[in-house]
Structure 1
Amino acid sequence: MAGAVHAIAVGDDGTVYVGGSFGHAGPPEGSGVPLSEATGEPIEPFPVVDGHVAAVVPDGRGGWYISGSFTQVGGVARSGIAHLLAEGSLDLAWSPAVTGGVLACVGGTLYVQSWTFDAKALEFITKLLALDPSGQPTAWQPPPVTGFVSALAVSGNTVYAGGDFTAVGGEPRSQLASFDATTGTLTAWAPQLSAGIYHGTSTVQALALVGDVLYVGGSFDKVDGESRIGLAAFDGSGQLTSWGPPIYSGSVFALAARGSTIYVGGWFEALGSEARSGLAAIDSGGQVLPWGPATDGTVLALAIDGDTIFVGGGFTGIGAVRRSRLAAVGLDGAVSGWAPEPDPGPELVTASGVWQYDNHGVLALAAASGKVFAGGNFEYVGSRSVRRGLAAYDSAGHLTTWAPHVDGEVWALAWSAGRLYVGGDFQAISGTPRANLASVSAAGEVSSWNPGVGGAVHALLATPEALFLGGAFAIVGGRPHLNLAAVGLDGGPPLTADQSGWNPSPNAVVTSLTAEGGTLYVGGYFTGFGSTERLGLAAFDSRLSLAPWGPALGRATPDPADAPGATALVARGGIVYVAGHFDTLAGNASTCVALVDANGQVLDASVADGLYYPWNEVSALTATDDRRVVMVGELAALFWESPWPPGLRSDITGAAFLGAGGLSTAVPVPAYVLDTTRLSFLPRARAVAVAGGKVYVGGVFHWDLPGGGVVDNLAAVDTASGQIADWTPILRP
């Protein structure tokens, strides 16, 4: 799942519906994928690259050489460099004893680089190599480069290198150098690039050849003392030409040529006096051409096949059209419908209903014979798996075609009478205006039911009579209703006590709802209902009148931003399981979770030592058919030291899933440890549901499994054994 799962609901036929802040669903395709130029879909089969792909070049035979920060390709160990065959398989015989980046493939010879760090000189040293088709180094071994090489181009018997370096084999070279293609000898060609008022440092990021003219792009202000800002060109004799419209603000990261036209990609707002954002085209005389659809982010890669320019980078829009990271543009500047939408996976977040992508993008592109190979730091690609905020899996764990989409986040789901009720922070679903609450059929159709909620919905509870909703809102159905309300399932107005005025108005957000025996239990971060104090917990009787039940939640810290709250409730057999963010309940020490009876008396409580927010929050609860309770959340450890049986008995360091005894004895459940080595975000299991002997768990997590393998963001656990079930759709090596 490419992003967070906040809610799970199971339909009558076993379909598992998930909601959250994701953009793709299904198994990850990996970070290097061949795509059809016609459809934008992955061309199967292809091996999944586990890591990120920074460079790709065609092998000239329908396959690709790739490099980057990856350790496996198709489950086979590869140290950052691999060869993919034309039929879509990994070349098992090709495994050179080098690590580094691929730069170019010319006439069957692959040029690569590897890096070492000279600790004594405090410098990085780059070694350039040439490999034959079998992966063996040839005799071509030029002198070492002091610094980094970013781009390479071959013309006749000359190999050009550009990057961020100061010397080659001890000879001064400023970001550009060339070598004899046969012997590897450094040539005398030594242009001097320098920084100035527009660029703080000088680097070369891209090279392109048209005939014997070498075009150079990067970040620099002068070449051989002459003003060349970001772009320059050298003729066949190595002399600087007059070509190069200045880029006063920004840098060039990619160059591609078609005929006599040079296409430029990068981060800039203008070329000379011509406004261009991220993309531009320049003729051989240096004239900026009209072509240049504006991007809202950086362009990092370009590839051309026929009359199509493929554009990759970190943008979310191009030419006023939504295109996430990858797009196709015609020679007339029109953005085509080709939209693979590479997605970074778990680090996808939303801000104000807009998907944001931080430090992710398409880093490398190559195109040939109707195929585009896209590489980068993403995990999902292809429109078939696009699911924005909502997705559904069948009982076997396969992604279904059910695909209504929201323009924000989904926080709550409830299934009732053949319909899925969707709550969250959004303004439309499948293009139909719906403010934060909607109803969708099993066929994916948005119903006419439209209560209209003025604020986010965080909790839903469907009963035969009504749909109860909690959240952070002020209006429901055009009427004032603060944070808690009930609406008719048939689309009627908000329900009231005796149908004449139920509006309890808790003074802060409601995050959890449950019911049993005609009593509605409410949890959240509120401190009262009108003048009646209720600290995080409250109950309403069958007439929806505020009941006496309401054991107080507390936190030891006086920080108002660290207020106590009940994020999850389950009522079963006369016991209310309370979970969330607190360390006292009704005056009893209790970390994260406790059991309370219908009179508000604490029956059992957990106590943890040395745990600090946010690593001690239970986010969701559910009950199994055998009267066990399952809880998920941010659990670094949970020590249950209560003298009151029965209850939980668990001591699971690093657990993201654990079982509870409830009214029966405790049942051991394996600990699925959060793999923090893969994460740059806060991991948490956020949603849980039970059906058909399985517990479905969703959130933002990687689980390292005891027997090997990794589970991402969505999993199913067998209720009898506690083991990961076969249903789990995102299980990878």
Structure 2
Amino acid sequence: MLPETALPRAVAPVPAPAAAASAPRRVAAPAAAVPALRRASVTAASALAVIAVLAIPPPSAAAGTVRHPAVVSADPVDTTPHVLDGIVNAIALVGGTVVVGGRFGRVREAGSARAVERRNLFAYDLVTGRILPGFAPRPDRPVRALAAGDGGTVYAGGEFTAAGAPALRRTGALARLRLSDGSPVAGFAAQIRGGAVTALVRDGSALYAGGGFTHAGGLARPALARLDAATGAADPAFGIRPGAPRGSRVRVHALALGGGRLAVGGDFTTLGGLPRAQLGLVDVRAARVDAWRTAFYAARCARDFPSYVRGLDFAPDGAYFAVVTTGGPRGAGRPCDTAARFETRPPRASGEVSPTWVNHTGGDSLYAVAATGAAVYVGGHQRWLDNPEGHDSAGPGAAPRPGIGAIDPRTGRALSWNPTRDRGIGVKAFLACPRGLLVGSDTTRLGHEYHARVGMFPLP
């Protein structure tokens, strides 16, 4: 949904937990922001200690794979570069390098006055914030999804047809690029046709892609495909098809992987021929649709949003996953403009699965979610959480959480963490990494500071 100015309400009454045994222990939010890499108050000795720790390169990070022991600080680090126009749609971490994709044209390092051209894709060092000078692939249209690759490479998906340096090469809507020089990796040819790639998940030698395409890896694969991560060829054993969209065309908006299950969200009412309204799970080992199902997202939201599931993420242990939606203000009991938790393996082996909890914004879209064990972070252009009775307004008990917030994974209620951000269109990208939470959006104020379209909240 487009940015709104209406006010939602506090978290709606939380439904009784369906599987309390698997719910994680609540971790309280920090009482005050904990500075990271911070100014003159840090002594020389402690500063050297911090630098020594940060000098250790982190592993590559994928959504749903990083557990945090606590809620992140509300004070963003000062080193992230600034994206000076457009919007950030996706973030990946490859070793110690952050890769950022979206629709933009210029970036600059923190503390620098010099802007550099980086069309739709760039990379920077996680610790120093230095922009990689050799990585400038310049995709000809926006990047919508990223996934870390082996050997200093990254997978980029989107609306583009060409990418790569020094000269643009035709890659289709999915490319594997070298971080050293931005060139496409020889031998990888995903052959995406018929539409964009909007979601990517890497799992060892497999790469899952979702979007609005019709063909992938040389085979008919409408909206969902499993590709060979080295060659881009489609797996002939994985032919699960989303179908029967409510809108004009079947689309996959979000993918997440955890506990041997691939969560698929998008504009469809069937998955592999089975009824699955906007959300289903796939057993990736057996390459078949899981028995898990919910009718929660079969409800209608606003007419402009025939489908409205937009973000998915598994908890690090795979026991549950979180879903965020757009959809428009429709009142309590509807799944529109909400965050929800679902158990991956509910107590009952079959039958409809209900959410363990639901948190309502009261009429504002959520697009991104990250589950770290300590919190379920949600981002969009929301004004409130805990707002089940809001209808573009603040209902009783609404918790103001402009643009970004954190939910207790156990209770489903907003944690006290409230850094704030300019709302704009909203947060489109989260990535939990070993040092904190990376955030990508379309606005310039994060945690009461200037952080244009990219920022990171560190672990305290």
**TM-score, with normalisation over the residues of structure 1?**
0.40
Partners of 1:618 and 1:653 in 2: CA distance: 9
Write out per-residue CA displacement over residues 542-591 of structure 1, whole angstroms, 9 at most, x where no aligned residue. Answer: 5432112131122355x6xx211111111223321111121122222221
Partner of 1:699: 380
Shift of 1:609: 4.7
Partner of 1:662: 344
Partners of 2:367 and 2:275 in 1: CA distance: 24
**How many aligned positions are there?**
318
In the alignment, is the contact (CA less than 8 A) between 2:343 and 2:356 conserved in 1? no
- Is structure 2 residue 131 aligned with structure 1 residue 446? yes
Relative to structure 1, is the Cα distance of residues 515 and 663 closer, same or farther in structure 2, using a 3 angstrom cutoff?
Answer: farther
Q: Which of 648, 662, 673 is 2:360 aligned to?
A: 673
Partners of 1:635 and 1:593 in 2: CA distance: 15
Relative to structure 1, is the Cα distance of residues 653 and 428 closer, same or farther in structure 2, using a 3 angstrom cutoff?
Answer: closer
Aligned residue identity for 1:623: F
Aligned residue identity for 2:408: D
RMSD across aligned positions (CA): 3.0
SS of the residue corresponding to residue 313 of structure 2 reads strand
Partners of 2:207 and 2:183 in 1: CA distance: 20
Relative to structure 1, is the Cα distance of residues 653 and 408 closer, same or farther in structure 2, using a 3 angstrom cutoff?
Answer: closer
Pick the structure with more strand per residue. 1
- Is structure 2 residue 234 aligned with structure 1 residue 546? yes
Partners of 2:160 and 2:244 in 1: CA distance: 25
Write out per-residue CA displacement over residues 311-342 of structure 1, whole angstroms, 9 at most, x where no aligned residue. Answer: xxxxxxxxxxxxxxxxxxxxxxxxxxxxxxxx
- Is structure 2 residue 280 aligned with structure 1 residue 589? no
In the alignment, is the contact (CA less than 8 A) between 2:81 and 2:130 conserved in 1? no
In the alignment, is the contact (CA less than 8 A) between 1:404 and 1:445 conserved in 2? no
SS of the residue corresponding to residue 578 of structure 1 reads strand
Relative to structure 1, is the Cα distance of residues 538 and 469 closer, same or farther in structure 2, using a 3 angstrom cutoff?
Answer: same
Aligned residue identity for 2:223: G
Write out per-residue CA displacement over residues 21-78 of structure 1, whole angstroms, 9 at most, x where no aligned residue. Answer: xxxxx9xxxxxxxxxxxxxxxxxxxxxxxxxxxxxxxxxxxxxxxxxxxxxxxxxxxx
Partner of 1:396: 73
Shift of 1:541: 2.6
Aligned residue identity for 1:605: R
Shift of 1:460: 0.5
Q: Which of 117, 128, 131 is 1:433 aligned to?
A: 117
687-696 vs 455-464, which deviates more?
Answer: 687-696
Partners of 2:356 and 2:402 in 1: CA distance: 19
Matches within 5 A, 1:469-484: 469-477=156-164, 478-484=168-174
In the alignment, is the contact (CA less than 8 A) between 1:507 and 1:529 conserved in 2? no
Relative to structure 1, is the Cα distance of residues 446 and 667 closer, same or farther in structure 2, using a 3 angstrom cutoff?
Answer: farther
Partner of 2:85: 407
Shift of 1:671: 2.8
Relative to structure 1, is the Cα distance of residues 572 and 501 closer, same or farther in structure 2, using a 3 angstrom cutoff?
Answer: closer
SS of the residue corresponding to residue 605 of structure 1 reads coil
Partner of 1:370: none
Write out per-residue CA displacement over residues 263-322 of structure 1, whole angstroms, 9 at most, x where no aligned residue. Answer: xxxxxxxxxxxxxxxxxxxxxxxxxxxxxxxxxxxxxxxxxxxxxxxxxxxxxxxxxxxx
- Is structure 2 residue 222 aligned with structure 1 residue 535? yes
Shift of 1:656: 1.1
Partners of 1:475 and 1:662 in 2: CA distance: 38
Partners of 2:100 and 2:92 in 1: CA distance: 7
In the alignment, is the contact (CA less than 8 A) between 1:615 and 1:636 conserved in 2? no
Shift of 1:701: 1.8
- Is structure 2 residue 184 aligned with structure 1 residue 506? no
Shift of 1:699: 1.0
Partner of 1:606: 294
Shift of 1:632: 0.9
- Is structure 2 residue 325 aligned with structure 1 residue 630? no
Which 5+ residue runs of structure 1 have no aligned equivalent? 5-25, 27-393, 639-650, 677-682
| Greater C-alpha Rg | 1
Partners of 2:261 and 2:329 in 1: CA distance: 24
SS of the residue corresponding to residue 131 of structure 2 reads coil
Matches within 5 A, 1:182-581: 395-401=72-78, 402-430=80-108, 431-441=115-125, 442-448=127-133, 449-465=135-151, 466-477=153-164, 478-495=168-185, 499-529=186-216, 532-544=219-231, 545-548=233-236, 549-556=238-245, 562-581=248-267
In the alignment, is the contact (CA less than 8 A) between 2:241 and 2:272 conserved in 1? yes
Aligned residue identity for 1:417: G
Aligned residue identity for 1:718: D
Relative to structure 1, is the Cα distance of residues 565 and 610 closer, same or farther in structure 2, using a 3 angstrom cutoff?
Answer: same
SS of the residue corresponding to residue 576 of structure 1 reads strand
In the alignment, is the contact (CA less than 8 A) between 1:654 and 1:672 conserved in 2? no
Relative to structure 1, is the Cα distance of residues 501 and 713 closer, same or farther in structure 2, using a 3 angstrom cutoff?
Answer: closer
Partners of 2:369 and 2:188 in 1: CA distance: 33
In the alignment, is the contact (CA less than 8 A) between 1:535 and 1:552 conserved in 2? yes
Aligned residue identity for 1:633: T
Write out per-residue CA displacement over residues 339-384 of structure 1, whole angstroms, 9 at most, x where no aligned residue. Answer: xxxxxxxxxxxxxxxxxxxxxxxxxxxxxxxxxxxxxxxxxxxxxx
% of aligned pairs identical?
26
Shift of 1:531: 6.1
Partner of 2:38: none
Partners of 2:274 and 2:130 in 1: CA distance: 48
In the alignment, is the contact (CA less than 8 A) between 2:81 and 2:131 conserved in 1? no
Shift of 1:397: 0.9
Which 5+ residue runs of structure 2 have no aligned equivalent? 5-32, 34-70, 109-114, 348-352, 388-396, 422-446, 448-460
Partner of 1:717: 407
SS of the residue corresponding to residue 712 of structure 1 reads coil
Partners of 2:181 and 2:218 in 1: CA distance: 31
Partners of 1:727 and 1:475 in 2: CA distance: 41
Partner of 1:170: none
Shift of 1:668: 6.2
Partners of 1:568 and 1:712 in 2: CA distance: 23
SS of the residue corresponding to residue 207 of structure 2 reads strand
Partner of 1:324: none
Partners of 2:123 and 2:310 in 1: CA distance: 24
Shift of 1:720: 3.3
Matches within 5 A, 1:611-622: 611=300, 614=305, 616-622=307-313
In the alignment, is the contact (CA less than 8 A) between 2:139 and 2:163 conserved in 1? yes
Name the structure, 1 or 2, with higher relative contact order (CA <8 Å, separation 6+): 2
Shift of 1:515: 2.2
In the alignment, is the contact (CA less than 8 A) between 1:406 and 1:429 conserved in 2? yes
Shift of 1:535: 1.1
Relative to structure 1, is the Cα distance of residues 575 and 669 closer, same or farther in structure 2, using a 3 angstrom cutoff?
Answer: closer
Partner of 1:91: none
Relative to structure 1, is the Cα distance of residues 703 and 476 closer, same or farther in structure 2, using a 3 angstrom cutoff?
Answer: same
Partners of 1:589 and 1:655 in 2: CA distance: 23
Partners of 2:93 and 2:216 in 1: CA distance: 28
In the alignment, is the contact (CA less than 8 A) between 1:507 and 1:530 conserved in 2? no
Write out per-residue CA displacement over residues 199-247 of structure 1, whole angstroms, 9 at most, x where no aligned residue. Answer: xxxxxxxxxxxxxxxxxxxxxxxxxxxxxxxxxxxxxxxxxxxxxxxxx
